[in-house]
């Protein structure tokens, strides 16, 4: 099968079929998080590889077919580069798959504070969650406290251009000359791309436009907002995990 050559139409058809069942992966990821699969593998130690039966032994289940079901789920996670998979030949002639944490999968294991990307998936049921910390806030559409620098972290993508301009004007007024507004947000590519970051931000764009009144923006759209408000300079500073840091500078 390794030498089989797919034609362009066949490859395109396979991509279309994969899109039809794309909802399966989020469901599998939710199940993996609820079952603590990433944590179970992590507790086995660095570089550990566990078979489905190894993992089932740590789950509360009486389902005799749990190992086969779990193997299917783990294999799907491996095809999305969250797990590694090693296949070995058994004495009876069969094969056994063992799974370990891939670099991306480690982000679903809690750090020293118990924080991981698993909490991000839990935001789908945000209304049922309780905040751990108290936060002090103010209505930035009314007034922004004065300061040499202001940070807007994933704020602008929640709002329409009109409301962003209103908010940014308040930030502008709160800054001194040469003051800096630091914006942390995602940046859409000008034309559709197929890399992992582009796929992620375009999905966020759909969420923002359907659940809120906001949207993800291109670099040019961010610069247009800055110019309309009166900022003298706009800079894209750096990018971490697809998240961009931009600076709106009041005067040069």
Catalytic residues: 157
Structure tokens at 5: 């050559």
Backbone φ, ψ for residue 200 (5° rounding): -65, -50
Q: Which residues contact 193 (CB under 8 A, 6 or more apart)?
A: none
Alpha carbon distance 22, 220 (integer Å): 31
Q: In terms of Cα–Cα distance, which of 112, 95, 103 is closest to 38?
A: 103
Backbone φ, ψ for residue 12 (5° rounding): -65, -40
Alpha carbon distance 249, 237 (integer Å): 12
Backbone φ, ψ for residue 212 (5° rounding): -125, -170
């Amino acid at each position: 099968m390794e030498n089989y050559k797919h034609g362009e139409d066949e490859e395109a058809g396979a991509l279309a079929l994969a899109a039809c069942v794309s909802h399966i992966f989020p469901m599998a990821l939710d199940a993996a998080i609820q079952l603590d699969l990433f944590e179970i593998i992590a507790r086995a130690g660095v570089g550990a590889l566990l078979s489905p039966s190894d993992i089932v032994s740590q789950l509360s289940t009486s389902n005799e077919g749990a190992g086969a079901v779990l193997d299917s789920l783990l294999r799907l996670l491996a095809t999305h580069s969250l797990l590694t998979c090693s296949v070995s030949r058994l004495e009876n002639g069969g094969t056994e798959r063992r799974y370990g944490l891939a670099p991306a999968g480690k982000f679903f294991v809690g750090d020293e504070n118990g924080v991981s990307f698993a909490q991000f998936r839990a935001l789908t049921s945000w209304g049922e969650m309780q905040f751990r910390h108290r936060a002090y806030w103010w209505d930035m559409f009314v007034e922004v406290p004065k300061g040499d620098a202001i940070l807007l972290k994933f704020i602008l993508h929640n709002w329409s251009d009109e409301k962003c301009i209103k908010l940014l004007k308040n930030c502008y007024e709160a800054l001194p000359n040469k003051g800096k507004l630091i914006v942390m947000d995602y940046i859409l590519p000008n034309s559709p791309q197929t890399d992992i970051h582009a796929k992620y931000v375009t999905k966020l764009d759909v969420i923002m436009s359907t659940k809120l009144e906001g949207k993800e923006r291109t670099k040019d759209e961010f610069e247009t907002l800055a110019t309309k408000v009166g900022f003298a300079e706009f800079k894209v500073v750096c990018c971490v995990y697809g998240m961009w840091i931009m600076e709106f500078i009041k005067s040069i």
